[in-house]
Structure 1
Amino acid sequence: MIKFQKRIVLLLIAVVFLSCDNNKEKTDINASLPSTITVEGDRFVDDLGRQVILNGVNVGSKNKEEGYIFQSGPELYANLKKHGVNTIRFLIIWDGLEPEPGVYNEDYLKEIDQRIQWAADNNIFVVLDMHQDLFSVKYSDGAPEWATLDEGKPHTTGAIWSDAYLLSEAVQTAFDNFWRNKPAADGVGIQDRYIALWQHIAKRYANNKTVIGYDIMNEPFPGSSGVQSTMVLLGAYGQLHYKLTGEVLTEEQLGAMWSEEESRMEALNVISTKENYDFVISQLFDLVKEFESKHLQDMYQKVSHAIREVDNNHIIFLEHSYYGNTGVASSIERVSLADGSPDPLVAYAAHGYDLVVDTKAAALAANERVDYIFEQINKKGEQLKMPVWLGEWGAYYDNSETVIPTAVHSVGLIEEHLFGNAYWSYTNDLEDMEYFNQVLVRAYPAYTNGQLLNYRNDFDSNTFTMAWEEEGMNNNSPTVIYIPNISKLNKEEIKDFSIEKIKDSDAGYLIIPTSETSGKRTLNLTF
């Protein structure tokens, strides 16, 4: 009887021990991931004081028939977590939000709420992006028809969809009237309506920790000055062509060269070096500066003031103009608070695309042009002293082998510059793409104790390296590395660390506890 009682006691002790051990594991999992993200200086940081790399993807629908909501259930967000996504750029559409002047669509907002909750359930943060392409639902997506003041001008398209920015009088006029704040039929300026809409959204999410910020406008376009920009670019290319060949091209020849996709690709080969590309693209600077410094900056400031009246918690993400996508240096500046002081919660939300984007040759982006574009973005981030979030890049949409080296090159630049990023974009077949699984889903330092100095994935040698300056005794929160394939790790290299696997996945997190003293630390992993 005594032996039996001893066995019962030992069994109970074992159960209690295992229970405590399991609880400890759950506590560690919860403690290692943040509950929100903000800005500190030129870095994104979490509520545990760690530097954050925002790694994500764009999620959204431009289809009115789908209610401007990507059609999926919570499984999408669970899958994104497995793939290492910690942030999504979630598209919201003005036409869906405000179908009539001053009338907000609560049903649409509730659908957005649901997706934000699904993201929260999977430790994924959300940036709300007010998206537009060609300004309006009349031509693509964005503004409702009542806010599209195109004055009946003709809409002209080109070889690729985005050519309409430079060709369509209707699109350009609609933008002109937005920047002028021309009143709609109800007598209220359409820009004023846009500002009020942003305040309505900010008030709704002011205390939501999953929503970390607001991307004020997708790829702002100046309007009718687009015609002038086309002439500047063609003229610059003509100068370069003469410089290289001694041949003078007429306006008609230059226009014909850029009007068809095939001849355009031939012309792009000429500006595939940094030197030649800079010669052409930099000639747009003055024209773009005039728009960004006046109209765009003014709109950003007004929206910022409206948001800060109801929300002092979230990051305001500022994009450069449409032209910044291709490397034209931006002139935007930090917005200020009501008292005139600089707003500390601001990030530079650049986009980076090679000129072959949206064409059949998207997988053949010129490395030197991409280098140039990303360098310009990095310079602007340093000048602004803001964290950089590459809100769009990629758009490959091709499963051929040629995409992989293109993706590897861009990812290498994202890592080199320590950019946050959101790949454009999530589609139903993205998870089947080889470049997605081989390149985009990769190890990265999600949350770093201290200052992240560098990190790199070498896809040829299957290695990951990282260096950081740890705060040590000032912060005992662990450094968290996302690992897509835990089972392939060299166990000897991680013997002093712990692993937290993501449910139903070989992916997970490598948890690196703080050292006893501050100082530089390095990590080398082999897969």
Structure 2
Amino acid sequence: MYKLAPYEPSATGFDEADAQFLQDNGFNVVRLGVIWAAVEPQPGVIDTAYLDSIKATVQMLADHGIYTVIDMHQDLYSGTFYGEGAPACASDGGGRPNKNSGFPGNYYVNGALAHAWDAFWGNADAPNGLGLLDNYALTWQNVASYFSGNSAVIGYDIMNEPFPGSNYPVALFGGSFFATQQLTPMYNQVAAAIRSVDGTTPLYLEPPNPAVTEVPTLLGIPIALLGKVTDPNYVLAFHNYCGPIGGALCTKIANTLAVQAANYSKRHNVPAMMNEFGATNDIDTLTKEMQSGDRYFMSWADWAYTGVGDITGSPDVEALVWDPAKDPTGDNVNIGNLLTLGSPYPQLVSGTPKKWSFTNGTFTFAYSTAKVDGSGTFADGALTTISVPQVEFPNGYAVTVTGGHVVSAANAAQLVIASDSGATAITVVVTPAP
């Protein structure tokens, strides 16, 4: 995500070397930010040159085996309120005070920002006579039409961290009005627009902004994640932050948010992805957040590859690579974060995962050959792929398998296991080479 004009990752220097770095270290999905103001700089005007630049990054990532989730990103609604997101023509502050109290402070105290959010949720008229929500839906329709059929794009994240506007105190203490009566209807409207041009790409739907979900989590109040979603092909894409609180409260927040997402996933039979966490180089916090998702076998995406251009983030601490304009090697890599985030993990499982861990340099993974949907078992010889990045095993690794056998090359970055004849349970243990 590059939050300044021209709002594209290539402006940071992100290039083939960075894509290769991600591939080498086991990452296989990038949540790629786009900005409403860049896609639709004027009402009804779509900048296809901007989408071309995003497509080039999508293709570069795909060439390295990395899928993309297109993320329509906002923080503090727009640049008018010291963030990024909506175009200026959709950012009416109603003449209210627009003092900059930073991120996330503006969410709570900036009256002009609150007015702009209220106008958005109320579908107030934009300069072209259409409502703001209507323009947003049409913008997404154009983005989806552009990327429809692109097999490298596995999802559309409809809005990053949607905020309630002036109604935030109600949401802050567990009220469901925003989630069910404003946010979900917007998702349903945008979904309809997307489905008119793309019937298959999954929709990534985010619950309310973390700025209003962490307090009820600490108070033990259930959070209304979403209302009735009409589209059947969607992912609950929740964010999980517990820093800078730290300690036991951090553990409680991270675990509770993950539990709520896992429960929603089971109740509605949809995947859940922890599609943003981190923004820190505090390894204890990063580990707690990461493991809260790992516990439920959730996919996740860390914030962020780099902090360059992150005007509403923590650029001094959040990056995996400090400066993408330079090679991702040596001091340009946040090695502490890489060693945490680059942990081995199962990428593809021919069966049902049971448990995995990575402790003191040893990776253990157990799974059965049963299909998750209960329709039987995988055939003998079915393959399971495990990411084993060199950064975790710089001198190579040894593998012990029960119920299966290794079919990949020695010390391959992707360890491939084939199930033995008649096996119902398989355990894989990877240890550093002596």
Task: Tell me the TM-score normalized by structure 2.
Answer: 0.84
Q: In the alignment, what sits opposite 1:39?
A: none
Q: In the alignment, what sits opposite 1:247?
A: none
Structure of higher CA gyration radius = 1
CA distance 1:413–1:484, change in 2 (3 Å): same
Distance 1:216 1:317 in 2: 6
Q: In the alignment, what sits opposite 2:396?
A: 488
The residue type paired with residue 409 of structure 1 is: K
Identity rate, percent = 28
Aligned pair 1:497/2:406, yes or no?
A: yes
The residue correspondences of 1:303-342 to structure 2 (distance < 5 A) are: 303-323=190-210, 325-326=213-214, 327=217, 329-333=223-227, 335-337=229-231
Q: In the alignment, what sits opposite 1:62?
A: 3
Q: Deviations over 1:10-67 (max 9, x none)?
A: xxxxxxxxxxxxxxxxxxxxxxxxxxxxxxxxxxxxxxxxxxxxxxxxxx10011555
Whether the 8 Å contact between 2:213 and 2:223 is mirrored in structure 1 is no
The residue type paired with residue 62 of structure 2 is: A
**Number of residue pairs matched by the alignment:** 391
The residue type paired with residue 4 of structure 2 is: N
The residue correspondences of 1:33-72 to structure 2 (distance < 5 A) are: 60-65=1-6, 69=10, 70-72=12-14
Secondary structure of the 1:330 match is coil
Q: In the alignment, what sits opposite 2:316?
A: none
Aligned pair 1:88/2:30, yes or no?
A: yes
Q: In the alignment, what sits opposite 1:421?
A: 300
Please, which runs of 5 or more residues in structure 2 have no aligned partner?
309-318, 322-332, 371-376
Whether the 8 Å contact between 1:325 and 1:352 is mirrored in structure 2 is no
CA distance 1:187–1:331, change in 2 (3 Å): same
Whether the 8 Å contact between 2:235 and 2:273 is mirrored in structure 1 is yes
The residue correspondences of 1:99-118 to structure 2 (distance < 5 A) are: 99-118=41-60
Give 1:437 shift: 2.5
Secondary structure of the 2:104 match is helix
Q: Whose helix fraction is larger, Structure 1's or Structure 2's?
A: 1
Distance 2:361 2:160 in 1: 36
Secondary structure of the 2:301 match is strand
The residue correspondences of 1:84-483 to structure 2 (distance < 5 A) are: 84-139=26-81, 140-158=83-101, 160-227=102-169, 284-286=173-175, 289-323=176-210, 325-326=213-214, 327=217, 329-333=223-227, 335-337=229-231, 343=232, 345-354=233-242, 356=244, 366-396=250-280, 398=281, 403-427=282-306, 430-431=320-321, 432-458=333-359, 461-471=360-370, 472-474=377-379, 477-483=382-388
Secondary structure of the 2:177 match is helix
Secondary structure of the 1:296 match is helix
Whether the 8 Å contact between 1:83 and 1:484 is mirrored in structure 2 is yes
Q: Deviations over 1:90-112 (max 9, x none)?
A: 00100110011111111111100
Give 1:315 shift: 0.7
Whether the 8 Å contact between 2:406 and 2:416 is mirrored in structure 1 is yes
Q: In the alignment, what sits opposite 2:328?
A: none
The one of the two structures with greater contact order (alpha-carbon pairs below 8 A, sep at least 6) is 1
Whether the 8 Å contact between 2:400 and 2:429 is mirrored in structure 1 is no
Whether the 8 Å contact between 1:89 and 1:422 is mirrored in structure 2 is yes
Whether the 8 Å contact between 1:325 and 1:350 is mirrored in structure 2 is no
Give 1:390 shift: 0.6
Deviates more, 1:430-439 or 1:104-113: 430-439
Q: In the alignment, what sits opposite 1:512?
A: 417
Whether the 8 Å contact between 2:243 and 2:285 is mirrored in structure 1 is no
The residue type paired with residue 355 of structure 2 is: N
CA distance 1:219–1:121, change in 2 (3 Å): same
The residue type paired with residue 330 of structure 1 is: A
Distance 1:363 1:201 in 2: 42
Distance 2:25 2:267 in 1: 33
Whether the 8 Å contact between 1:415 and 1:456 is mirrored in structure 2 is no
The residue type paired with residue 18 of structure 2 is: L
Secondary structure of the 1:348 match is strand
Give 1:414 shift: 2.0
Distance 1:493 1:105 in 2: 53
Secondary structure of the 2:145 match is helix
Aligned pair 1:76/2:76, yes or no?
A: no
Give 1:295 shift: 0.7
Distance 1:307 1:181 in 2: 18
Give 1:184 shift: 1.1
Distance 1:65 1:108 in 2: 8
Deviates more, 1:376-385 or 1:476-485: 376-385
CA distance 1:364–1:91, change in 2 (3 Å): farther
Deviates more, 1:404-413 or 1:117-126: 404-413
Give 1:363 shift: 9.4
Q: Deviations over 1:406-448 (max 9, x none)?
A: 2232232221111110001111652422322221111000011
Deviates more, 1:323-332 or 1:414-423: 323-332
Secondary structure of the 2:387 match is strand
Q: Deviations over 1:118-149 (max 9, x none)?
A: 01101100000100001112121000000112
Give 1:325 shift: 4.9
Task: Tell me the TM-score normalized by structure 1.
Answer: 0.69
Whether the 8 Å contact between 1:481 and 1:510 is mirrored in structure 2 is yes
Please, which runs of 5 or more residues in structure 1 have no aligned partner?
1-59, 234-283, 338-342
Give 1:321 shift: 0.4
Whether the 8 Å contact between 2:383 and 2:416 is mirrored in structure 1 is yes
Whether the 8 Å contact between 1:304 and 1:335 is mirrored in structure 2 is no
Give 1:453 shift: 2.0
Q: Deviations over 1:459-511 (max 9, x none)?
A: xx21111121214544854100000135431256699313358xxxx761001
Q: In the alignment, what sits opposite 2:374?
A: none
The residue type paired with residue 320 of structure 2 is: L
Distance 1:378 1:438 in 2: 26
Distance 2:58 2:8 in 1: 16
CA distance 1:74–1:434, change in 2 (3 Å): closer
